């Protein structure tokens, strides 16, 4: 029979030097398993005398307990070491910067951006939004706005005529301005009116400051005693908000539109001396809108009694305002569909520094 003390030392050494769960389990099986050394020694006890059985039996039991305990202690140690290793390896560094977005995202076109900004400003002033068709009848585009067939003002608009007429035999045009929505909307309801109408407009024209398709926002306010002072305040308030400046000087220049009387053109004071055009101060004037008091003939076209109601109208050039606010020199580039241009001048959905998301660059 092997000396139990030597055996104890040998096994405890082996347990101590085990470095992982697998080798520890191998030791357990080799010593304490069914066919393990200790188990075999236990079996051999049956051949001994009662006295020897007692003595050696208790020594073996003792040894078995010592080994069992040391294996479970070692097991716990190895588990702890392995856990710590995993914790170190699997740690997430929350301070790492987020990976640049892989997927390509689109940009908001400056026209859409500026449309949103303008709409939002007039929305906060209590204006409704109305829309009209891009393909318009001669009636709404001209006649109802006091521009009859023979009127020289028709030449002001280089109109795209459609080859076909509508089912009432009326000539059709691509609308040359958003003003037809004035009459269309007034016909539908009863005064007072206070709305804007954004949309696409078309004229046979193309150079650095004109494109065959462009955008306008029409404004109309009709009530019992709406006057020119209201128009001036509205335009000033709008331009201050749009250009994000506290003071603005505007000039109302006498002009002519058949559908307003008096008619005026609106200029804003600006500084063109530096590389960036600055609105609000300086010594230059820039035309930004057409406006005036609604002509009684226009109210008549919409069956509104011009003795009881009066109002003002204005038409803003959206693309022009986008050029001014965001410093985009050539209008034609707006509609070339060049993605590089859009990446440069477009707006990200996530840049939201102001109320209406416009970012002064």
Contact 252, 266 (CB under 8 A): yes
For the CB of residue 257, give the shortest distance to ligand PHE in the complex, in Å.
4
Nearer to ligand PHE, 27 or 260 (CB): 260
Q: Could you write out the DSSP letters of every residue in 257-272? A: -TTEEEEEEEEEEEE-
- Rounded to 10 deg, the angle between the 228-243 and 110-124 helix axes is 130
Is the CB of 32 or the CB of 252 nearer to ligand PHE? 252
Candidates 25-33, 135-143, 289-297, 342-350; binding stretch for ligand PHE (CB under 6 A)? 289-297
Span 137-166, contacts to ligand PHE by CB under 6 A: none
**Cβ of residue 310: shortest distance to ligand PHE, in angstroms?**
14
Q: Residues 284, 319: contact at Cβ < 8 Å?
A: no
Query: Omega before 192 cis (within 30°)?
Result: yes
Query: Between residues 110 and 290, which has the closer beta carbon with respect to ligand PHE?
Result: 290
Instruction: Tell whether residue 177 is a contact of ligand PHE (CB under 6 A).
Output: yes
Residue from 115, 313, 321, 331 that binds ligand PHE (CB under 6 A)? Answer: 313
Q: Any contact of residue 314 with ligand PHE (CB under 6 A)? A: yes
**Residue 25 φ/ψ region, left for φ over 0, alpha for ψ in the -120 to 50 degree band, beta for the rest:** alpha
- DSSP label at 356? T
User: Least distance from C-beta 314 to ligand PHE, angstroms?
Assistant: 5
And the tokens for 316?
């803003």
Beta bridge partners of 294: 260
Contacts of 29 (CB under 8 A, 6+ apart): 36
Piece of the chain touching ligand PHE by CB under 6 A; list 112-120, 301-309, 311-319, 321-329: 311-319
For position 198 contacting ligand PHE by CB under 6 A, the verdict is: no
The interface region with ligand PHE, picked from 51-59, 241-249, 300-308, 313-321 by CB under 6 A, is 313-321
> Parallel, antiparallel, or unpaired: how do β-strands 128-129 and 193-202 relate?
parallel
Residue of 110, 132, 180, 290 interacting with ligand PHE (CB under 6 A): 290
Q: Which residues contact 137 (CB under 8 A, 6 or more apart)?
A: 166, 170, 171, 172, 173
Nearer to ligand PHE among residue 291 and residue 322 (C-beta): 291
Residue with tokens 């400046």: 245
215 binds ligand PHE (CB under 6 A): no
Give me the least distance between CB of 292 and ligand PHE, in Å please: 5
Closest CA to 209 of 341, 324, 345: 324
Residues 6 or more apart whose CB falls under 8 angstroms from that of 140 comprise 132, 175, 180, 183, 184
Coil, strand or helix: which one is 205? coil
Q: Which sign does the torsion angle of CA 273, 278, 283, 286 carry? A: positive
197 belongs to the binding site for ligand PHE (CB under 6 A): no
- Kindly state the smallest distance separating residue 342's Cβ from ligand PHE, in Å: 27
Contact stretch for ligand PHE (CB under 6 A) within 205-213, 298-306, 309-317, 328-336: 309-317
Stretch that binds ligand PHE, among 27-35, 162-170, 286-294, 345-353 (CB under 6 A): 286-294
Under DSSP, is residue 295 helix (H, G, I), strand (E, B) or coil? coil
Answer yes or no whether residue 315 interacts with ligand PHE by CB under 6 A.
yes
Is 180 a binding residue for ligand PHE by CB under 6 A? The answer is no
* 222 close to 309: Cβ distance less than 8 angstroms: yes
Which residue of 260, 301, 310, 323 would you call a contact of ligand PHE, by CB under 6 A?
A: 260
Could you say whether residue 74 binds ligand PHE (CB under 6 A)? no
Shortest distance in whole angstroms from residue 291 CB to ligand PHE: 5
Residue 292 binding ligand PHE, by CB under 6 A: yes
Cα gap 80→68, rounded to integer Å:
19
Counting contacts by CB under 6 A, is residue 184 touching ligand PHE?
no
* Distance in Å, CB of 170 to ligand PHE, minimum: 20
Instruction: Check: CB of residue 197 under 8 Å from CB of residue 178.
Output: yes
Binding residues for ligand PHE (CB under 6 A):
177, 179, 257, 260, 290-292, 313-315
């Amino acid at each position: 029979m092997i000396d139990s003390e030597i055996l104890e030392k040998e096994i405890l050494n082996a347990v101590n030097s085990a470095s992982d769960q697998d080798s520890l389990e191998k030791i357990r099986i080799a010593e304490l398993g069914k066919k393990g050394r200790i188990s075999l020694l236990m079996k051999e006890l049956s051949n001994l005398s009662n006295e020897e059985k007692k003595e050696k039996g208790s020594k073996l039991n003792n040894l078995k307990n010592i080994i069992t305990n040391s294996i479970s202690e070692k097991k716990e140690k190895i588990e702890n070491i392995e856990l710590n290793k995993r914790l170190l390896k699997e740690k997430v560094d929350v301070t790492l910067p987020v990976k640049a977005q892989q997927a390509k995202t689109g940009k908001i076109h400056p026209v859409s951006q500026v449309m949103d900004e303008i709409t939002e400003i007039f929305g906060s002033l209590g204006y409704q939004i109305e829309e009209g068709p891009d393909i318009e009848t001669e009636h709404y585009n001209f006649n109802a706005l006091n521009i009859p067939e023979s009127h020289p003002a028709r030449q002001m608009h280089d109109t795209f005529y459609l080859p076909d007429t509508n089912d009432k035999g009326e000539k059709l045009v691509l609308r040359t301005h958003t003003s037809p929505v004035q009459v269309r909307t007034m016909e539908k309801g009863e005064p007072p009116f206070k709305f804007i109408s954004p949309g696409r407009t078309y004229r046979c024209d193309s150079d650095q400051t004109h494109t065959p398709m462009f955008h306008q926002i029409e404004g109309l306010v009709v009530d019992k005693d709406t006057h020119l002072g209201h128009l001036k305040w509205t335009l000033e308030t709008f331009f201050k908000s749009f250009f994000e400046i506290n003071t603005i000087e505007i000039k109302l220049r006498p002009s002519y539109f058949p559908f307003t009387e008096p008619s005026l053109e609106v200029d804003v004071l600006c500084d063109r001396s530096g590389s960036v055009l600055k609105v609000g101060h300086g010594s230059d004037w820039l035309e930004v809108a057409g406006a005036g008091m609604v002509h009684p003939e226009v109210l008549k076209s919409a069956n509104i009694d011009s003795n009881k109601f009066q109002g003002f109208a204005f038409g803003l050039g959206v693309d022009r305002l986008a050029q001014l606010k965001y410093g985009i020199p050539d209008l034609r580039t707006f509609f070339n569909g060049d993605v590089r241009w859009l990446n440069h001048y477009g707006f990200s959905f996530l840049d939201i520094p102001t109320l209406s998301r416009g970012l002064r660059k």
